[in-house]
A and B are shown apart, each in its own frame.
Chain A
């Protein structure tokens, strides 16, 4: 995406609040906060229209640190509350801040249904693969075997991959970013905001206290070039420090190839199609992981579809324009009534 020169009415800092930010020093959430403020500024979103709704968890303190309207709700239910807010006022730019516990454990039901309905809300899904606020229990995204305070012998359950889950619920927009790269986050958050529909952005976020460097191999200075596959619609899937590695489709599976080896040229490399309505390839991309593959970042899927809020309001507008009743009085006096003189 080309960077445009933007006239910003408010500077990023002006989207902040007067409240002291209380995340642990070194927490990945600071980067996200800064990226969101930059996004709003660059998109020129009026401060009063941006509304941040969260559940419970460290990341759910997010609304307090924004100077916009905000609602810090209850565990797992941000999607329900945000849905009501968006339906009530579709002109708002509604953002959810929620963690892997909040959205994928206690709020899992609301998550899949918000995705399925495709209501126009942006979900910042902070995935640190741990319960931070309750001080270190495993989450539904913790890797199998993970030793935590609540799994001293290692977990015995398979984790969710948020991308698989979202696409399985028919997500029209799924993106993934790392908390260490503000520029990447701003680029992706802007697309999420501009996307009409439920935009899920999984943020690979570091919990410096209870799960430090869980995404280290993906975000580490030395390793990130080989472990980040940043996807842009219409561009070839290349990665590596030299941008000489790429993703090729071999039969029904993806594989990593190197340009110049075994006669591989750029023509062999897949070109990313985020807008494709067919999710097959996008779904495969959500599954790429260490050690065999780099992790897919950027907008993995960004397809257009009718949004829930548009459809709901269109139906209502139509009913309002074509009603046989002009007022409630008409309704109350319609049908079987009888008069007593």
Chain B
């Protein structure tokens, strides 16, 4: 029997050495190719190998796929794969009733059950009564199925994840071919390893088909999508690709100066693969040298980028001030994680907003924008570069762990489909002065060392208007502060107006920003379908705000700002628009929003 579903959430969970990320990724690749809407998120401990069998060491990968309505990774799994008692324990706090749980029965011993923090065996004590539990002998069948290959025990055990994946593929009627191709390609030189993984994958698939524990399997029909070529992409990958595309459209070399930091490092990993496209990569000795090298490269004419997360951002602060004073294009990507200090390195948060807006000495405005989703990181990275280069300013792009590591299908954009980026250069030495500005944008000209006739000096000391010579004159300083401020404010002319989902609503406006877009959109969408008087507006341009922001707010009786921090965007809006009251829904658990909790909150506000 096959049942049709419109969307499903699956979570693969196991020990951090159990290969859950790979199993999840392979499932995602096949599912994406079948044309489903998809959103994924890996959830892993910051320790490389936390103690085996403990809740702290559980690594998870959640995938939400469906025909329609997939705007987030989903609140809670419909199917949980738990490779050991700890993985079960870690996920019990967030399960839907009637959820299907597939466990490796072999992994449940007195010792492992205790290590996971269970007092009694949950498979036997009736505590899982709400769920459909499938106990599969994953470890023993994995061993038996490839016993004749002569592999060492470690290599055999490492195939367990494929047993689980095979079962899941059966459950959702998905083909094995793409995964088989993956192993044949990846282990071309180690055919035994490829064969072992493929055999176990098929064994898991056959097991699921043969046992009668599953009363039904499921089919999730493909989504209706705009025509085009799609590929599954993570936020960090699409950020890297957006930067590369921008460099091509600006006709500049891309320079990345950076220092590894979770969860931003994958941007470095991705860009360093693509030196063929002209990228210059400098892995610096620290965060400060990372941003400084980017400023130096920008001075010399490259499209310069530095990537980091909150703690690294703190170290780059002084240098960003220099780029503001020198009025050089610079893109700073902050993939936010939980703070303050070292905080929660692998967990998501939106708590670096105030830092991006205000975290520098002096009056030092920078453009701040934020990406919405994994695939949209491409567009926002591109946009950050465009604004930086055309307006001669540092641009801070905020993404967050949730979308940086999460993945979804991206409709491929070819270079011809992208805007041109026009560097603000100068071809007439007669009209040239280092701080002479474009009348519309107030951007100064970008002329780089090696160009004869334009030799000039810039620096961190206050500049005299136009000439750029050092000046401590009182009125000049005030004028320059205003000019730098106005220059950033004028970016508002060059960005789209703020849009609202729910034109007829006037009661409750939900405001979001950055990477929580999908979940907020999904929650409001469901409520609108239920006929509720609710609308949604999502901010990607934070500084400056779109020009019609006030008009958007005016229509509504109540406004609530939802963010993963203690109210930073709400505070910012409240300061700019004191005439409105901004209510807050803040979550600070290192986790994304859930549609369920949002709807409860919004419904309450509508009923008050």
Q: Hey, which bits of chain A sit against chain B, CB under 8 A?
A: 17, 19, 46-49, 51, 53, 56, 63-64, 66-74, 77, 79-89, 91-92, 109-110, 113, 312, 315-316, 319-320, 322-323, 325, 327-329, 331-333, 335-341
Partner of B276, one of A79, A319, A329: A319
Partner of A48, one of B279, B285, B451: B451
Indicate with 1 or 0, residue by residue over B277-311, a CB within 8 angstroms of chain A CB atoms: 11111101110111111111111111010000000
| 24 A-B pairs (CB sep. < 8 Å) | A48-B449, A63-B457, A64-B457, A68-B455, A69-B455, A69-B456, A70-B459, A74-B321, A79-B289, A79-B292, A80-B296, A84-B292, A87-B255, A88-B300, A89-B301, A89-B449, A320-B275, A320-B277, A320-B278, A325-B277, A327-B415, A332-B413, A333-B412, A336-B29
Known: A92-B449, A320-B275, A336-B29. A81 touches B296 (CB 8 A): yes
B226 A87 Cβ-Cβ under 8 A: no
| Shortest 9 CB-CB contacts between residues of A and residues of B | A84-B296, A80-B292, A72-B459, A323-B276, A84-B293, A88-B300, A81-B296, A70-B457, A69-B449
B44-52, B84-92, B240-248: which lies at the A interface?
B240-248
Within 8 A of A (CB), among B287-339: 288-302, 304, 318-319, 321-322, 326
Contact residues in B for A80 (Cβ distance below 8 Å): 257, 284, 288-293, 295-296, 319
Q: Determine the distance from Cα of A92 to Cα of B448 in the docked complex, in whole angstroms.
A: 11
**Is B227 interfacial (CB 8 A cutoff)?**
yes
Partner of A74, one of B318, B448, B470: B318
**Is B211 interfacial (CB 8 A cutoff)?**
no
Within 8 A of A (CB), among B143-166: none
CB distance from B431 to the nearest CB of A (A): 18
Known: A67-B455, A329-B415. A338 touches B33 (CB 8 A): yes
Contact residues in B for A336 (Cβ distance below 8 Å): 29, 32-33, 178, 231-232
Secondary structure at the A interface, as helix, strand, loop or mixed, is mixed
Contact residues in A for B450 (Cβ distance below 8 Å): 48-49, 69, 89, 91-92
A47 B452 Cβ-Cβ under 8 A: yes
Q: How many residues of B contact A (CB 8 A)?
A: 74
CB distance from A198 to the nearest CB of B (A): 14
**Is B414 interfacial (CB 8 A cutoff)?**
yes
Q: Determine the distance from Cα of A322 to Cα of B276 in the docked complex, in whole angstroms.
A: 8
A19 B469 Cβ-Cβ under 8 A: yes
**Is B458 interfacial (CB 8 A cutoff)?**
yes
A71 B244 Cβ-Cβ under 8 A: no
CB distance from B89 to the nearest CB of A (A): 34
B414 A72 Cβ-Cβ under 8 A: no
Q: Name the residue on B nearest A78 (C-beta).
A: B292
Q: Name the residue on B nearest A51 (C-beta).
A: B449
Contact residues in A for B295 (Cβ distance below 8 Å): 73, 80-81, 84
Q: Name the residue on A nearest B470 (C-beta).
A: A64
Partner of B230, one of A86, A325, A340: A340
Known: A69-B455, A337-B231, A340-B230. A84 touches B282 (CB 8 A): yes
A87 B282 Cβ-Cβ under 8 A: yes
Known: A48-B449, A332-B412. A87 touches B460 (CB 8 A): no
B415 A340 Cβ-Cβ under 8 A: no
Contact residues in A for B293 (Cβ distance below 8 Å): 80-81, 83-84, 87
A48 B453 Cβ-Cβ under 8 A: yes
Contact residues in A for B300 (Cβ distance below 8 Å): 51, 84-86, 88-89, 92
Contact residues in B for A319 (Cβ distance below 8 Å): 275-276
* Total A-B residue contacts, Cβ distance less than 8 Å: 213
A328 B244 Cβ-Cβ under 8 A: yes
Contact residues in B for A19 (Cβ distance below 8 Å): 469-470
A339 B230 Cβ-Cβ under 8 A: yes
Q: Determine the distance from Cα of A319 to Cα of B302 in the docked complex, in whole angstroms.
A: 19
Contact residues in B for A79 (Cβ distance below 8 Å): 289, 292
Contact residues in B for A340 (Cβ distance below 8 Å): 35, 225-230
Contact residues in B for A92 (Cβ distance below 8 Å): 300, 449-450
**Is B190 interfacial (CB 8 A cutoff)?**
no
Partner of A49, one of B245, B294, B449: B449
CB distance from B428 to the nearest CB of A (A): 16
**Is B461 interfacial (CB 8 A cutoff)?**
yes
Given A77-B319, A89-B450, A316-B280, 20 new contacts (CB under 8 A): A17-B457, A69-B456, A70-B457, A72-B461, A73-B292, A74-B292, A74-B321, A80-B290, A84-B294, A84-B299, A88-B296, A110-B288, A312-B280, A316-B279, A320-B277, A332-B231, A337-B229, A338-B32, A338-B230, A340-B229
Contact residues in B for A335 (Cβ distance below 8 Å): 231
Q: Hey, which bits of chain B sit against chain A, CB under 8 A?
A: 29, 32-35, 178, 225-232, 241, 244-245, 248, 253, 255, 257, 274-282, 284-286, 288-302, 304, 318-319, 321-322, 326, 412-415, 448-461, 469-470
B455 A74 Cβ-Cβ under 8 A: no
A77 B292 Cβ-Cβ under 8 A: yes
B275 A77 Cβ-Cβ under 8 A: no
B282 A333 Cβ-Cβ under 8 A: no
Partner of A81, one of B245, B292, B448: B292
Q: Determine the distance from Cα of A132 to Cα of B458 in the docked complex, in whole angstroms.
A: 22
Known: A88-B296, A88-B301, A92-B449. A74 touches B322 (CB 8 A): yes
CB distance from B540 to the nearest CB of A (A): 22
B297 A87 Cβ-Cβ under 8 A: yes
CB distance from A97 to the nearest CB of B (A): 12
Q: Name the residue on A nearest B33 (C-beta).
A: A338
B299 A85 Cβ-Cβ under 8 A: yes
Q: Determine the distance from Cα of A3 to Cα of B260 in the docked complex, in whole angstroms.
A: 49
Q: Determine the distance from Cα of A332 to Cα of B229 in the docked complex, in whole angstroms.
A: 9
Contact residues in B for A63 (Cβ distance below 8 Å): 457, 459
Partner of B296, one of A17, A67, A70, A85: A85
Interface-central residue, A74, A83, A84, A91, by most chain B CB under 10 Å: A84
A328 B275 Cβ-Cβ under 8 A: no
CB distance from A154 to the nearest CB of B (A): 32
Q: Name the residue on B nearest A335 (C-beta).
A: B231
Q: Name the residue on A nearest B252 (C-beta).
A: A88
Partner of B458, one of A68, A72, A315: A72
CB distance from B172 to the nearest CB of A (A): 17
Q: Determine the distance from Cα of A110 to Cα of B288 in the docked complex, in whole angstroms.
A: 9
Contact residues in A for B297 (Cβ distance below 8 Å): 84-85, 87-88
Q: Name the residue on A nearest B244 (C-beta).
A: A328
Known: A87-B280, A340-B35. A72 touches B452 (CB 8 A): no
Known: A64-B457, A337-B230. A88 touches B225 (CB 8 A): no
CB distance from B493 to the nearest CB of A (A): 30
Interface-central residue, A83, A86, A333, by most chain B CB under 10 Å: A83
Contact residues in A for B292 (Cβ distance below 8 Å): 73-74, 77, 79-81, 83-84, 110
Q: Determine the distance from Cα of A232 to Cα of B592 in the docked complex, in whole angstroms.
A: 66
Partner of B253, one of A88, A327, A331, A332: A88
Q: Name the residue on B nearest A54 (C-beta).
A: B459
Q: Determine the distance from Cα of A333 to Cα of B178 in the docked complex, in whole angstroms.
A: 17
CB distance from A90 to the nearest CB of B (A): 10
Q: Determine the distance from Cα of A340 to Cα of B223 in the docked complex, in whole angstroms.
A: 10
CB distance from B218 to the nearest CB of A (A): 20
Q: Determine the distance from Cα of A322 to Cα of B277 in the docked complex, in whole angstroms.
A: 11
Contact residues in A for B460 (Cβ distance below 8 Å): 56, 72-74
Q: Determine the distance from Cα of A104 to Cα of B449 in the docked complex, in whole angstroms.
A: 27
CB distance from B299 to the nearest CB of A (A): 6
Interface-central residue, B257, B300, B414, B450, by most chain A CB under 10 Å: B300
CB distance from A88 to the nearest CB of B (A): 4
Q: Determine the distance from Cα of A46 to Cα of B449 in the docked complex, in whole angstroms.
A: 11
B282 A74 Cβ-Cβ under 8 A: no
Q: Determine the distance from Cα of A53 to Cα of B295 in the docked complex, in whole angstroms.
A: 12
A113 B245 Cβ-Cβ under 8 A: no
Q: Determine the distance from Cα of A315 to Cα of B278 in the docked complex, in whole angstroms.
A: 11
Q: Determine the distance from Cα of A48 to Cα of B454 in the docked complex, in whole angstroms.
A: 8
